Amino acid sequence: MPLEIERKYLVRNDSWRTQGKGTRYRQGYLSTEPARTVRVRVAAGRGFITVKGLTVRVTRPEYEYPIPVEDANEMLDTLCLKPIIEKVRYTIEYAGLLWEVDEFEGENAGLVIAEVELARADQTILLPDWIGEEVTDDARYYNASLIANPFTSWGGKPSV
């Protein structure tokens, strides 16, 4: 079973901006149940569908498959829950790991989150100086949660 082992953090400053290249993402959800999410995504002109299981600590099953980009766009426009998640993802290599920094737009504008995927749940990581508070266990920061409760509705900024 393919597993996603991931930790999420708020970003404390903009010093990461000089290090990464950004790709625009559009993604939506056909299901946002905690036990399973089904995501449709378009990034760099390619479409994907992803099924994720229940997160236990920092690990969850994940199945991702390419689909025709036309189908992905049609599902985003007609079938996915609204609002659609819009973001630019930057990839940054640091201390042997690949970090992904998501700068959200639209109804989640102002939110910037960094994620790192790991080989093991107990893997030790060296944090870049632009990393702030860990939010791995805070469901508000899950992309699927940002549909029902967009960041701009929170009435303030996350604490860093």
Residue 63 annotated among the catalytic residues of the structure: no
Residue type, 90: Y
Structure tokens at 51: 């099924």
The single residue of 29, 94, 141, 142 carrying the catalytic annotation is 29
| Nearest alpha carbon to residue 86 among 145, 42, 152 | 42
Asked whether the beta carbons of 87 and 100 are under 8 A apart, the reply is no
- Single-letter code of the amino acid located at 68: P
Cα 103 from Cα 81, distance rounded (Å): 20
- Give the 3-state DSSP-derived string for 121-147, with helices as H, strands as E and coil as C: CCCCCCCCCCEEEECCCCHHHCCCHHH
Whether 59 contacts 117, CB under 8 Å? no
Return d(Cα 85, Cα 150) in angstroms, integer.
Answer: 9
Q: Which residues are catalytic?
A: 29
